Amino acid sequence: MSTERVAYVNGEILPESQASVSINDRGFLYGDAVFDTTRTFNGEIFRLEQHLDRFYESLRYMRIDSPVGKAEMKNITLNVLKKNLEILPDGDDYWVSQRVSRGVRGLPGIMKPTIVVECFPLPLEERAEYYRDGIKMIASSIRRTAPESLSPRAKMHNYINLIQAELEIQSQDSKALALLLDVNGNLCEGHGANIFLVKQGVIYTPREQFVLAGISRQVTIELATNLGYEIKETDLDIFDAYTSDEIFVTSTSFCICPVSSINGLQVKSQNIPGDVTLELQSAYSKLVKMDFVKQYLDKL
């Protein structure tokens, strides 16, 4: 049996070593493409419909007309995943992504979007210690792209704004996660993750208009609401972060991960994760029918 993953490219499912896109593809040339990524829990894909809804909204924002509709994209995704699950080691899981670029450069109206669906193993080992020790977050001097320039709500291939922040922060501390503020100095999001603060039992997160509205952010809001917490989506700044009791980030891969410090200042909670973060992590694990924290910690 092959041990190589497969990917879908423009109508074909191929071993990854044979799957390719043109050097003239605008996704490669200009980052002119859209993607979305969900993950599996024990091989089960999570909230695919919601990820596809966001994906098709990103495509619409980018004015890319995908020749493959949502229902077909769902089938392709499930098919690619099914084939790749056969070679997934026990205890691991996949990121599962759809990608559509504007196509190979050419005349407007003639370009045909390039379509890719692929799986990639989650970086469980790399991130395991974050679940034991918490993540150190450092605010970057790079501000998150303002909605007036390019909407951070669309998930596009162009991640340079976030990558610049990551490079800056990781040159100071290779394990730290970049925190991006918006152009007004409000907390925005981490590199690839949404941020939440907990202060006196109330949970706060930046407003959706200025961030990529994470599916895990939404799941966390739902779980917290069901647990009876008050959730406020509002402008927050560094003062709010420094004075909060707990901080955590959410993303498809992180689910919910505790933050231990901001700019070197320890969060107030003595334990990692703090009580509220732990309660939400447990609710998340229950929802996905898998102890995702244990999955990470097992890799230590």
Closest residue to ligand PMP, based on beta-carbon distance = 214
CA distance 23 to 32: 13
CA distance 169 to 152: 20
CB of 282 to ligand PMP, least distance (A): 18
CB of 156 to ligand PMP, least distance (A): 10
Cβ proximity to ligand PMP: between 45 and 104 the closer is 45
The DSSP code sequence of 208-220 is: GGGS---HHHHHH
Cβ proximity to ligand PMP: between 99 and 217 the closer is 217
The answer to whether the Cα torsion of 246, 282, 37, 5 is positive or negative is: positive
Cβ proximity to ligand PMP: between 252 and 269 the closer is 252
The DSSP output letter for 18 is G
Cβ proximity to ligand PMP: between 119 and 212 the closer is 212
What residue type is assigned to position 259 of the chain?
A: V
CB of 220 to ligand PMP, least distance (A): 9
CB of 210 to ligand PMP, least distance (A): 11
CA distance 35 to 117: 9
Binding region for ligand PMP (CB under 6 A): 37, 162, 189, 192-194, 211-212, 214-217, 250-252
Length of the chain: 300
**SS3 category, 45:** strand
Strands (E), 59-167: 94-101, 114-121, 135-139
Cβ proximity to ligand PMP: between 21 and 48 the closer is 48
The DSSP output letter for 284 is H
Cβ burial of 1 (10 Å; 0-12, 13-18, 19+) is exposed
Cβ proximity to ligand PMP: between 114 and 194 the closer is 194
